[in-house]
Amino acid sequence: MASQDTEDVRSNDLEQGCLTPDQRSSAAKVGGGAFCACLLAFIIVICVSIKRVGPEEQLIFITTMGKTTKDGPFTEIVWPHQRWEKRSATRLGPREYAVVKNSKSGEMRHEEGPMLLFLGAWDDYHKVQVKDKVVLQKQEFMRLVDSLSGSERVVVGPITFVPAPLEQSSKGIERAVVVGKENSVLVRSKSTGVKRVVLEEGVFTPEPYEEVLETRDALLLGPKQFAILKDQLTGVFRNEEGPQLLKLQAYDELKEVKSKVVLEKGEYQRLVDARNGAERILSGPVTFVPLPSESAVAGTQNSVFLNAETAVLVLNKTTGQQQLITENGVFTPRSYEHVVEVRTKIRLLPHEAIVVRDTDGATTVHSAGDAFFLPPYSSVLEMEWSSYARPGNQAKVAVNKIDLRARKMFFAYEVRTSDNVKLSLEGTIFWQVKSVTTMVQMTADPEGDVWHHAGSALIQAVSKSTLDQFMSGFSNITAEAFTAQALDGFYDERGVELKSLELTRFDCVDPTTSAILQQIIQETTNRINQLQAQESENEVAAAKMRADIRLEMQRKELIEAQAENARLEAEMVGQSDGTKLVQRAATFITGLNEAVPLVENRLELYKLHEQLKSRNIDTANLAGGTAKLFLTPSDVNLRLDMAKEGGNEL
């Protein structure tokens, strides 16, 4: 190894110009002599052994005692028997550092720049690594872990640094968290496992052995909101009400964000604490946040508005007692009080009755227009009565209000007469409840009792008569059956009264007998039809005669009306002419007031005027036609007298 190093050094010296070519030539010429040869060899050895080391180089001398270094620049003779090694120095910039390993101890170290790095004698030159220093800006940090001891430190920027040789960073450069009003940081200590929340505003950098689990944004809760939180250490729930900017604590877990409960007037909530079962009532108007362990199973409920027609039945769970609240107004139950039902006042018409039974079984009858609330622990007695609303159709109906008016039901019985004719009877039974108390005590189905007892009495009555007797007098038979059963005390014992028993239809069950009866009925019907037809013909003839009489009477009335109309017409014409004559006479007589003062004279003159006018008309008529004039002696005398009086001649 030493000879090789020496040859390297010599070759280096020759390359650097220790012996010039002329010298080598002179040495060769002198090589003829031994001395000259030895001298030349010594000179060559000296020239070859001269070492010139630059400012960035060093020599490492290896001896049996160890290694030593000598940094340049220098020039020195290194004898061939010496072992040495030449190394170049490493130039490190301001932002660089070198990782150096001591091959003897195995230790590593970092050398920071800026510098010209000369390695130590035992430093491994071939394993030197030059790296950039770590530059941390503001709000940056690096977590360094010593791989030998596991110790940890955190370097916070702004800084430029060189990590220790055994320090490593698994995550590299990390960003610090800026904590403001709207966020927080959840941190856990690796040494204790304890979590904490950083709420202080500013730049947060974790301490050694701390890790950032998460950055939490603050939760903005409005005025009508609240948050349900759970402590993960204790398991305890709590509520945080708004309005606020909520930042969770280290072990808080956000379960849910809900709206606050808003209760209006007339509303309430029943809150039950799941921890101890305690109960409380909150009624509106109010806005509230229930406790975390409280829940309203029934939600928001409406209060009960009580008036004269409504009441509320309340059960107190602490005492187990029921209470009927009838006070008017808004009723909201208290804690441990539950509304069983809202009861309406029972109002009975004058013809209705109702039976109320208490817990002891005692009954109370309400009737004749009573109005009452059903008391606690009481119930309306409900009975099942047979219903015969339709013939041949029996059913059970629930009855809680008893009608005190007369009731009607249909019946259909099959009976046999004394001559063994089977008949089917249909009709109606009218009955009425007289005493509700007696009825309730004696029977549970008064309608069925009446139906069966009336049927039994009717069957017995029919069985005592023949078919002929029944057909000719079934009304009397029915009346006898009604009278017989009305007096036997059966209905009085049950508080009811039988009003009437009416038979509306009967048929023979046997087809042969029914056919015979049909023939009899047919013959009777034909006879009745013939009588009806004859009566119809007689009525038609009588109607025709009455119509003719009315026609003649109408003709008579027509003639009389025509004659009366003619008379009235002539009378009207005469009245008109008379009116004209009166007017002319009045005009004539009035016009002679001055010439003839006396009214009698003026009247005589008017008469004469009219007589002359009449004669002129008669004369004109005679002259113009073929008419003949017949004059009686009296007419002649009259004219003569008038001629004499007038002083004229005929």
What's the Cα-to-Cα distance from 601 to each of 246, 317, 480, 597, 649, rounded to whole Å? 143, 134, 109, 8, 21
Q: Which residues fall within 8 angstroms of residue 71, CB to CB, at 6 or more apart?
A: 53, 57, 58, 89, 118
DSSP per-residue letters across 600-628: HHHHHHHHHHHHHHHHHHHHHHHHHS---
pLDDT band at 20 (very low <50, low <70, confident <90, very high): low
Upstream peptide bond of 292 is cis (omega within 30 degrees of 0): no
Higher pLDDT, 261 or 49: 261
Q: What angle do CA 186, 192, 197 make, to 5 degrees?
A: 20
pLDDT at residue 585, rounded to an integer = 76
Of the candidates 145, 184, 194, 138, which has an alpha carbon nearest to the alpha carbon of residue 165?
Answer: 145
Read off the pLDDT of each residue in 532-538 and give the average, rounded to a whole number. 87
Q: Would you tell me the crossing angle of helices 633-646 and 599-624 to the nearest 10 degrees?
A: 130
pLDDT at residue 23, rounded to an integer = 54
What is the domain partition of the chain in residue ranges? Answer: 1-88, 382-509, 511-587, 592-646
Q: What is the pTM of this model?
A: 0.51
Read off the pLDDT of each residue in 524-530 and give the average, rounded to a whole number. 82
Which architecture does CATH list for 382-509?
A: 2-Layer Sandwich (3.30)
pLDDT band at 633 (very low <50, low <70, confident <90, very high): low
Q: What angle do CA 126, 169, 131 make, to 5 degrees?
A: 35
Mean pLDDT (the chain) is 82
The C-alpha torsion from 244 through 247 and 248 to 253, rounded to 10°, is 60
pLDDT tens digits, 334-385: 999 999 999 999 999 988 999 999 888 888 899 888 899 999 988 899 898 9
Read off the pLDDT of each residue in 458-465 and give the average, rounded to a whole number. 84
Partnered with residue 324 across adjacent β-strands are 313
The amino acid at residue 530 is Q
Rounded to whole angstroms, the Cα distance separating 237 from 228 reads 7
pLDDT at residue 315, rounded to an integer = 93
Rounded to whole angstroms, the Cα distance separating 644 from 635 reads 14
As given in the structure block, the two tokens for residue 433 are 């409840």
Rounded to whole angstroms, the Cα distance separating 9 from 152 reads 48
What's the Cα-to-Cα distance from 225 to each of 182, 236, 239, 256, 257, rounded to whole Å? 18, 20, 10, 10, 7
The C-alpha torsion from 636 through 642 and 644 to 648, rounded to 10°, is -100
581 has pLDDT over 80: no
pLDDT tens digits, 72-129: 787 777 767 777 788 888 888 888 888 888 888 888 888 888 988 888 878 777 778 8
Signed CA dihedral, 343, 348, 349, 352: sign only: positive
Q: What is the CB neighbour count within 10 angstroms for residue 210?
A: 20
Read off the pLDDT of each residue in 148-172 and give the average, rounded to a whole number. 89
pLDDT tens digits, 65-77: 778 877 778 777 7
